[in-house]
Amino acid sequence: MPDAWGDRPGRFDMALGAVNGTAYGTAHGDPEPVERDRRALARLRAEHNSPHSSTGEAP
């Protein structure tokens, strides 16, 4: 991930936060952070794979 988002450190922090929130929600039986953070990861993945992304490849 650092290479893919090296020019966007906020994206890397967002991905780590989403993974952390998913782990917390899963461990504590709280579905809200799990769903919210899965959506955040999906947005990051979509932006990375977007044809307009500076780091991603066109699908």
Decide if 2 is inside a domain. no
Decide if 55 is inside a domain. no
Decide if 43 is inside a domain. yes
Decide if 18 is inside a domain. yes
Decide if 41 is inside a domain. yes
How far is it, in rounded angstroms, from Cα 34 to Cα 4?
Answer: 24
Domain count, the chain: 1
Amino acid identity at 43: R
Amino acid identity at 27: A
Decide if 3 is inside a domain. no
pTM (2 d.p.)? 0.65
Quote the pLDDT of residue 59: 46
Decide if 30 is inside a domain. yes
User: Quick one: CA torsion of 7, 59, 46, 19, rounded to 10 degrees?
Assistant: -80
Task: For 4-54, write each residue's pLDDT tens digit.
Answer: 555 666 888 999 999 999 999 999 999 999 999 999 999 988 987 876 655
Using CA atoms, how far residue 48 sits from 14, 25, 38, 39, in Å, is 13, 25, 15, 14
Q: What angle do CA 21, 28, 26 make, to 5 degrees?
A: 55
Quote the pLDDT of residue 48: 79
* Residue numbers of the domain that contains 34: 9-48
